[in-house]
Amino acid sequence: MRNLLVTIRFDGRAFHGWQVQQNAPTVMQTFQDALQAVLKDRPDVKGCSRTDSGVSARMYCVSFKTESTIPCKNLIAALNVNLPKTVAVLDCREVEGDFHARYSSKGKHYCYRVLNSRIRDPFLEGFTVHYPYPKDIDAEFLNRQAKSFVGTHDFKAFQNSGTVMEDTVRTIHSFNVLRSGDMIEFHVCGDGFLYNMVRIMVGTLIDIAKGSIASDSISDILASKDRKNAGTTAPAQGLMLEEVFY
């Protein structure tokens, strides 16, 4: 039995997240369909994270066990033939038997993109959020505010309300807000993320920019452990999983 780690990327606009759902296309189901076509078997696949509907990934990792002897190079080619244009396999390699795409991960890098312009850009639709704020968002100011997220904290206030999670402590290694022209990028790296955590952190920063949440209040929001004190949940389409670390 081989344990394989497959790296893919996908256009999240076409899917309702990773996990299989009834009556809705998902990345997991699409990937398993391709595996079944190639292997004549439907392995139990493990994804590196749960993704929301509309979220895309430049790098997403999947592990599964198979008795197939197809070389990794050939498997990449065969899977890509059987996958839609919205999904592509980038790499495949054999890993140790106890490797798990999610639980073996050391961390992830997400980027959230906001087009801060009066006029939307059709070529960025689905991969950025158009934010025609009456004035330019001060990225340098938000970059300073974002530093309050860095470190090990209880992020209970920054997870989707109603989510049941016993351990809500996570470590954020870095959080940088950068502007290039009209594009603002929120780059965050951490050892793990709660459900909707990145989108709520970004939404909170934008609310601070708007003045609906006081500046220098992120530490107090963290300490409150209350979702009601954090900001809005930023739309899914601005979020991209950039990299997974092992």
Query: Which are the catalytic amino acids?
Result: 52
Is the CB of residue 4 less than 8 Å from the CB of residue 99?
no
Characterize the bridge pairing of strands 239-245 and 56-66.
Answer: parallel
* Residue bearing tokens 């934010």: 131
Alpha carbon distances (Å) from 124 to 72, 169, 183: 34, 34, 10
Q: What's the half-sphere exposure (Cβ side, CA atoms, 13 Å) at 39?
A: 23
Helix, strand, coil percent content, the chain, rounded in steps of 5:
30, 30, 40
Buried b (16+ CB within 10 A) or exposed e, 189-207: bbebbbbbbbbbbbbbbbb
What is the C-alpha to C-alpha distance for residues 101 and 37, in angstroms, rounded to an integer? 22
- Count of C-beta atoms within a 10 Å radius of residue 229: 16
